Structure 1
Amino acid sequence: MTGSTTPSGQSSSAQHPTSVVRLGIPGGREVTHRDVAANGARFHIAELGDGPLVLLLHGFPQFWWTWRHQLVALADAGFRAVAMDLRGVGGSDRTPRGYDPAGLALDITGVVRSLGEPDAALVGHDLGGYLAWTAAAMRPKLVRRLAVSSMPHPRRWRSAMLGDVRQSRAGSYIWGFQRPWVPERQLTADDGALVGRLLHDWSGPRLLDDEAVAAYRRAMCIPSTAHCSVEPYRWLVRSLARPDGIQFYRRMKRPVRVPTLHLHGSLDPVMRTRSAAGSGQYVEAPYRWRLFDGLGHFPHEEDPVAFSTELINWLKDPEPDR
């Protein structure tokens, strides 16, 4: 990738400096960083442990490091834990296109293949959760199990955003992302100060620590990251009445046929509990709903022990209940 450029003309070396995205994890554990090719792009992954593959998918406004606690817990529990940077974020390629959910889901299943595994348990938060739902519906043979945090099924998300005034207000940042170039400038102004405010406002009483906030602010300021980060949300809104959007939501009528764990914080101000609940109607397999009292939009960081315990117990349950 030497000498490659981003849509804004930035060189790849300026695009994802190692010092920004290749961070350490708790306990001084040595995570393996490397790049894998999938779906016409290059993706940065952080890997720890051996065993069945668990692929962790971050949301906005974060990158792979949001799963640092779960990487350790999953590896210690006997899993091959891999956290990837989504297209356009962290250490992965910034491409001029490819930010529709179907394309991003193919990135994820392509990474599973590139890792040499027959399938994976997908664990997604926020946008990563939306894409995990999508991948499970589109490529069920590559998804062994599905765990989603802070995000309803895509069809449930669509109906809530369009039919529930309170949810539309809670997700108002998505409407704001539709303006050209303004969100990009806002997200990178003052060294990513807005990222810090969003993390604070969207968390419950257990706020993210200063180190985490600083890491996410730095990562958002990598050239082209802000633009690539908002592009999926632009597609979600602008495609609602377009043929490609209509076709996507028709495809999402396919039921999810793998065991599913749905995790949510009771104080999530971005995705209301009422909006997330009810996603089980799209799952024709064991479905487990778990509400974390007193947590906000980032339960895996706000209470990593409780989140990891719930996740690992479910992954190890040979017959997860409905």
Structure 2
Amino acid sequence: MQVHVATAGPDDAPLVLLLHGFPGFWWAWRHQLPGLAAAGYRVAAADLRGYGDSDRPPRGYDLWTLAGDAAGLVRSLGAREATVVGAGWGGAVAWTLAALRPGVVARLAVLAAPHPLALRAAVRRRPWSRASRILAAAQLPRLPERRVRRDDAAWVVEFLRRGAGTGWAAAPEFAEVADRHRAAMLAPRVSHTAIEGFRWSVRSQFRPDGARYAAAVDKPVTVPVLQVHGADDPWIPERVARASARWCGAGHVHRTLPGVGHFPHQEAPQHVTDALLDFLDA
């Protein structure tokens, strides 16, 4: 399994591993890569399995396997441990890694990403919520892939626009963001492999592997945790994100960004970089 990473900073510095969400790829961290590297950290922004220039095998899009990919990446970069930062789906991978491979994670930071069990509980309580509807739509065979790719991936642009907070869709950089994300999702098989994780997250709840996963991650994370959440996230209410404190056993800092939606690292990049540096230097 080949995983593509973009790196910056000194090779011998403490490692910070950045894990993107849907529908992103490593470039979503374009602002944090130079900012963290300039502060003296070695930074690696990965393309998750099935995204970008990483391999796209036919299976392995469950959180068990994706966390294993991340752990292997830390080792392949020559580090014993890393501060792991995840956004969206990448945040779910980061939470899982911290629970299953605690020796690999020095600190954990998550953006727009409640603990997987907090999100699962919220979806069950409100099956009509926006997040629930997105997950439900992903369960259909083939149709979601066609929808994503239709009209030169126009759906991707609309997804970014709907998920954003006030102003980002009108910002000068949004056109480039939209074009790059559309191109990433139009790459061969990515529209399928990117959705497979959402399929697993729902279907596994009715299978033994889902029960084993829930039991495995239902324990306190043993490293400090930073949560950054957009106050205007249309899919994940802040109360759901704050419920993640239940799984934080070694300190928990929650930062809310006003006017920001589901993509804090892209919508408010300097605020996120500053929050990460404060957390890393604490």
- Partners of 1:171 and 1:87 in 2: CA distance: 24
**Which of 144, 149, 159 is equivalent to 2:106?**
144
Partner of 2:275: 310
Shift of 1:206: 2.8
- Partners of 1:235 and 1:170 in 2: CA distance: 15
Q: Do the aligned partners of 1:112 and 1:120 also contact (CA within 8 Å) in 2?
A: yes
- Partners of 1:224 and 1:160 in 2: CA distance: 31
Residue identity (%): 45
Other structure's SS at 2:221 match:
coil
Q: How much is the aligned-residue C-alpha RMSD, in angstroms?
A: 0.9
2:176 is equivalent to residue 225 of structure 1 = no
Partner letter of residue 140 of structure 2? R
Partner letter of residue 263 of structure 1? V
Deviations 1:74-103 (A, max 9, x none): 001110010000000000000011011011
Deviations 1:47-77 (A, max 9, x none): 0002110000000011000000000100011
Partner of 1:122: 84
- Partners of 1:171 and 1:312 in 2: CA distance: 33
**Which of 42, 47, 52 is equivalent to 2:2?**
42
- Partners of 1:90 and 1:259 in 2: CA distance: 30
Partner letter of residue 215 of structure 2? R
Give the gaps of 5 or more residues in structure 2.
Answer: none
- Partners of 1:60 and 1:74 in 2: CA distance: 22
- Partners of 2:277 and 2:266 in 1: CA distance: 16
Q: Do the aligned partners of 1:109 and 1:135 also contact (CA within 8 Å) in 2?
A: yes
Q: Calculate the TM-score normalised by the size of structure 1.
A: 0.84
Total equivalences in the alignment: 276
Q: Do the aligned partners of 1:171 and 1:271 also contact (CA within 8 Å) in 2?
A: no
Q: Do the aligned partners of 1:45 and 1:82 also contact (CA within 8 Å) in 2?
A: yes
Partner of 2:57: 95
Partner letter of residue 146 of structure 2? R
Q: Do the aligned partners of 1:56 and 1:82 also contact (CA within 8 Å) in 2?
A: yes
Q: Do the aligned partners of 2:32 and 2:269 also contact (CA within 8 Å) in 1?
A: yes
Which has more helix, going by share of residues?
2
Partner letter of residue 106 of structure 1? G
- Residue pairs, 1:43-192, within 5 angstroms: 43-50=3-10, 51-165=13-127, 168-192=129-153
- Partners of 1:124 and 1:289 in 2: CA distance: 15
Shift of 1:173: 1.3
Partner letter of residue 104 of structure 1? L
- Residue pairs, 1:267-286, within 5 angstroms: 267-286=232-251
Q: Calculate the TM-score normalised by the size of structure 2.
A: 0.96
2:196 is equivalent to residue 234 of structure 1 = no
Partner letter of residue 183 of structure 1? P
- Partners of 1:214 and 1:124 in 2: CA distance: 22
Other structure's SS at 2:31 match:
helix
Partner letter of residue 232 of structure 1? G
- Partners of 1:171 and 1:301 in 2: CA distance: 24
Partner letter of residue 141 of structure 1? G
Partner of 2:158: 197
Greater RCO between the two (CA within 8 Å, min separation 6)?
2
Shift of 1:272: 1.2
Other structure's SS at 2:153 match:
helix
Deviations 1:101-129 (A, max 9, x none): 01110000110001010100000000000
- Partners of 2:59 and 2:162 in 1: CA distance: 30
Shift of 1:169: 2.9
Partner letter of residue 6 of structure 2? A
Segment of structure 1 superposing worse, 203-212 or 90-99: 203-212
- Partners of 2:168 and 2:135 in 1: CA distance: 23
Q: Do the aligned partners of 2:126 and 2:132 also contact (CA within 8 Å) in 1?
A: no
Moved >4 Å (runs of 4+): none
Shift of 1:165: 4.5
- Partners of 2:161 and 2:92 in 1: CA distance: 22
Partner letter of residue 77 of structure 2? L
Shift of 1:270: 1.3
Give the gaps of 5 or more residues in structure 1.
Answer: 1-40, 318-322
Q: Which protein is bigger by CA-based radius of gyration? A: 1
Partner letter of residue 265 of structure 2? H
Q: Do the aligned partners of 2:127 and 2:133 also contact (CA within 8 Å) in 1?
A: no
